[in-house]
Structure 1
Amino acid sequence: MTKYILSTRPFRNEFIRQAKEIAPYEFVTATEIPTNFDWQSVEITIGWSKDWQDKLLIPTSSLKWVQSISAGVDTLPLELFAKHNVYLSNTSGLHATSITEHLLAILLMKTRGILDAIKNQEEQCWAEVPTIQNLQDLRILIVGTGKIGQELAKLLTFFQTKPIGINTNGRKIEHFAETYALVDLAYQAQKADVIINILPLTDDTYHLYDHDFFKTMKTTATFINVGRGPSVDTTALYQALRERQIGFAALDVFEEEPLPSEHPLWKLDNLLITPHFSGFTPHFQKAFMQIFLENLASFTTKGSLIKNVVNIRSGY
């Protein structure tokens, strides 16, 4: 019987050929599903579509493994995956370099006055030199010490900073000068000049950054979110920025995407908005397939995965 890998997106023939050399699966993309497609023969999916749920998450389904195309899996039907004993893996770490460079760009543009210069150029204004800061003088709090957080901390040490990390239990992580548990976030936020969120979305991190949190921050502090949009109470952040409770924010992810053109966030002069592209990665297919093919080989020979396995209970 033919077995299928069903993908939400196409991949180059060289990668499909490599997959077939590992295991004799037929590769089908979502845009090419035939009318008489045998859904009961799908064992693996690359990505996920809500339209597949009633076809693949049923007692007679053969689905065994979902390889997420993103690092975040909070939008997936995790409870149903658990119920049907479906393995789940993600792309954690694949975007680490891209997101780290995005964050460094924001930090340098802010500390060197480049953002102010762009605004002044639009107004054809030769303004006074803005306040310039060195990264090494800033207390930078990185909330999330996973692969992205570690890559950022490592590069920040090049600028002689001493990055502070926040993780679940405060365990020590390489490249961080200090690490604290998530329960210490509010206290550490009071002392931070920059707070960067890189956490996954879970029940514990939903609206973690709310009215009370922003009140703890310095009025000169910067808040950056490249984690998940719903970790931030958007209304609370808007009010904090509008009332100058905090100095500046940069958001790459939002509770509602795309961000509506009429949303009041667009009008704030102390906010940088980027359209969820911090993780865009050159040569994505090659990097993704390094994860997928290694897992495919393990899945085929051992019936288990060895890279980026998601704990469905915790959501990461």
Structure 2
Amino acid sequence: MLLISLPHEIDEKYVKRIADLVHPMEVLVERDILNERVPIDQIEILITYGKQVNADTLDLMTSLKWIQVFQSGVELIPMKELQKRGILLTNIQDFHSIPLSEYVLSMLLYFTRAIPKYKKSQTVREWNRRELDGEIYGKTVAIFGAGKIGQVIAERCKFLGMNVIGVNTSGKRKHHFDDMYTMDQKLEVLKKSDFVVLLLPATEETYRCFGKKEFQAMKDSAYLINVGRETLIHTDELIESLRAGDIKGAAIDVTDPEPLPADHPLWEVENLILTPHVAAVTERFFDRAIDKVALNWEAYKRNERPPYYIDLARGY
């Protein structure tokens, strides 16, 4: 049996696509893995984002062979517990580059062409031409995370005439970047960047790798865009730096915690735009995601290593 356990509604047409894919295996949809209607000891395949996957739940899932995470991030999965039980873990990759690159470009232009200013002027019916807007042409964008998605964003930025810096663990040159640096050189990169885009995964090394020291190293005219993981940023120090004017503004699509509580101070930061973890989720998300699940399924049923296999020892 395959269980689809996601925290949101999934259209019946997508459930049917998955059911057709794994036929004749039975498919069940239930947000709560522990719901009494779920025959938990009969679940062979689990499609999830990772919530409720813990040692206690896994102890009950005696037939579980494969967890398919329905996104790229696998930080919620207890890797060591899967290792003990010999459970396969896969994610889905190589389909976020289009929506994420469009999101990043929209934020670059949103800030540079001063959209908030004009919306405010419209609200008070003011014909405001006092200040000239900037351009992204010739500006420098640093992309932390130079993998496949980072390379697509870099390509789009190059097309618009930007200077593009890439940052990864090795500093090895990647396509579409003008220069490459290592994470050890991040302060040097921040000092020269007009925009900083975060795409890094959630690991022990990247936990809160952007805090007060990094924000103060940035230009006071620079903008931060986080479409990576919520744990990359020290939230309280971001709020402090935005209010102090250490950086000019930020756009973040991921927050710690999620969902963001209504009384959280992030909501009140004027030079910040918040989106609810939707940068990669567009009207085409489910079709693209299921296409990737299908590739993993074809390998799984042949007892082969799936293309989006996660090494449990390494965590990615």
Could you tell me the TM-score, scaled by structure 1's length? 0.90
Measure the CA separation in 2 of the matches of 1:131 and 1:79.
Answer: 55
Q: Does 1:12 align with 2:9?
A: no
Q: Does 1:63 align with 2:60?
A: no
1:29 — aligned with what?
Answer: 29
Any stretches of 5+ residues in structure 2 without a counterpart? none
Cα distance change, pair 128–31 in 1 and its aligned pair in 2 (3 A): closer
Q: Which moved more, 1:225-234 or 1:278-287?
A: 278-287
Measure the CA separation in 2 of the matches of 1:234 and 1:55.
Answer: 31
Measure the CA separation in 2 of the matches of 1:105 and 1:181.
Answer: 27
Question: How many residues were matched structurally?
Answer: 309
Contact 2:4 2:28 in 1 (8 A): yes
2:283 — aligned with what?
Answer: 282
Equivalent positions of 1:1-316 (< 5 A) are: 4-9=1-6, 10=10, 11-20=14-23, 24-30=24-30, 35=36, 38-48=39-49, 50-51=51-52, 53=54, 57-58=58-59, 61-306=62-307, 308-316=308-316
Contact 2:54 2:77 in 1 (8 A): no
Q: Which moved more, 1:285-294 or 1:260-269?
A: 260-269
Q: In the TM superposition, what is the alpha-carbon distance from 1:67 to its structure 2 partner?
A: 0.9
Measure the CA separation in 2 of the matches of 1:142 and 1:135.
Answer: 15
Per-residue CA deviation, residues 218-259 of structure 1 (Å, 9 max, x unaligned), is 111111111111210011111111110111111111112222
Measure the CA separation in 2 of the matches of 1:60 and 1:155.
Answer: 45
3-state secondary structure, aligned to 2:263:
coil
Letter of the aligned partner of 2:4 in structure 1? S
Measure the CA separation in 2 of the matches of 1:134 and 1:36.
Answer: 56
Measure the CA separation in 1 of the matches of 2:270 and 2:31.
Answer: 42
Cα distance change, pair 17–231 in 1 and its aligned pair in 2 (3 A): same
Measure the CA separation in 2 of the matches of 1:278 and 1:163.
Answer: 21
Measure the CA separation in 2 of the matches of 1:256 and 1:85.
Answer: 31
Per-residue CA deviation, residues 107-160 of structure 1 (Å, 9 max, x unaligned), is 112112222211222233222343422222211000011222111111112112
3-state secondary structure, aligned to 2:26:
strand
Cα distance change, pair 60–71 in 1 and its aligned pair in 2 (3 A): closer
Q: In the TM superposition, what is the alpha-carbon distance from 1:36 to its structure 2 partner?
A: 6.9
Q: In the TM superposition, what is the alpha-carbon distance from 1:38 to its structure 2 partner?
A: 4.1
Contact 1:48 1:66 in 2 (8 A): no
Give the superposed CA RMSD.
2.2
Cα distance change, pair 212–37 in 1 and its aligned pair in 2 (3 A): closer
Measure the CA separation in 2 of the matches of 1:46 and 1:13.
Answer: 14
Q: In the TM superposition, what is the alpha-carbon distance from 1:77 to its structure 2 partner?
A: 1.7
Measure the CA separation in 2 of the matches of 1:161 and 1:80.
Answer: 45
Letter of the aligned partner of 1:6 in structure 2? L
Contact 2:49 2:71 in 1 (8 A): no
Q: In the TM superposition, what is the alpha-carbon distance from 1:296 to its structure 2 partner?
A: 0.8
Cα distance change, pair 37–211 in 1 and its aligned pair in 2 (3 A): closer
Measure the CA separation in 2 of the matches of 1:49 and 1:90.
Answer: 11
- Counting aligned pairs with the same residue, the percent is 29
Measure the CA separation in 1 of the matches of 2:143 and 2:37.
Answer: 50
Per-residue CA deviation, residues 162-201 of structure 1 (Å, 9 max, x unaligned), is 3111111111111111111111112111111110101111
Measure the CA separation in 2 of the matches of 1:49 and 1:156.
Answer: 33
Could you tell me the TM-score, scaled by structure 2's length? 0.90
3-state secondary structure, aligned to 2:267:
helix
Per-residue CA deviation, residues 37-67 of structure 1 (Å, 9 max, x unaligned), is 5433322111156545456523982322111
Letter of the aligned partner of 1:18 in structure 2? L
Cα distance change, pair 129–272 in 1 and its aligned pair in 2 (3 A): farther
Q: Which moved more, 1:67-76 or 1:77-86?
A: 77-86
